[in-house]
Amino acid sequence: MAYPKILTVQDVSCVGQCSLTVALPILSACGIETCVLPSAVLSTHTAGFTGYTFRDLTEDIPAIAAHWKKEGILFDAIYTGYLGSAEQIACVKDLISSALAPGGRVIVDPAMADNGKLYPAFDEAFVGEMKTLCAAADYVLPNITEAAFLTGLPYKTAYDGAYIDALTDGLLALGAKNVVLTGVGYRPGRTGVFVFENGESRYYEHELLANGCHGTGDVYASAFVGALMRGRDGYGAAKIAADYTVRCILATAKEENHWYGPKFETELPYLFSALA
| Closest C-alpha to 141, from 22, 33, 234 | 234
pLDDT, position 187:
92
The pLDDT of residue 260 is: 85
pLDDT in tens, 49-88: 889 899 999 999 999 999 999 999 999 999 999 998 999 9
Under 8 Å between Cβ of 24 and 8: yes
Residue 121 has pLDDT above 90, yes or no: no
Residue 147 CB neighbour total at 10 angstroms: 29
Q: Nearest to residue 26, comparing CAs of 3, 41, 13, 8?
A: 8
Which pLDDT score is estimated for 246? Answer: 94
Q: Residue 192: is it exposed, middle or buried by C-beta count within 10 angstroms (0-12/13-18/19+)?
A: buried
Strand partners, 197: 200
Residue pair 67/40 in contact (Cβ under 8 Å)? The answer is: no
Does residue 1 surpass a pLDDT of 70? no
CA terminus-to-terminus distance, the chain: 15
Phi and psi at residue 77, to the nearest 5°: -160, 150
Which structural domains are found in the chain, ordered by start?
5-275 (3.40.1190.20)
Which helix (DSSP H) or strand (DSSP E) does residue 202 occupy? strand 200-207
Mean pLDDT score, 27-54: 93
- Kindly calculate the radius of gyration of the chain based on its CA atoms and give it in whole angstroms: 17
The string of pLDDT tens digits covering residues 233-265 is 999 999 999 999 999 999 998 888 888 889 999
Across the range 212-233, mean pLDDT stands at 93
The answer on pLDDT for 110 being more than 80 is yes
pLDDT at residue number 47: 85
Sign of CA dihedral 156, 159, 164, 166: negative
Q: DSSP labels for 218-255?
A: HHHHHHHHHHHHTT--HHHHHHHHHHHHHHHHHHHHT-
pLDDT for 253 equals 86
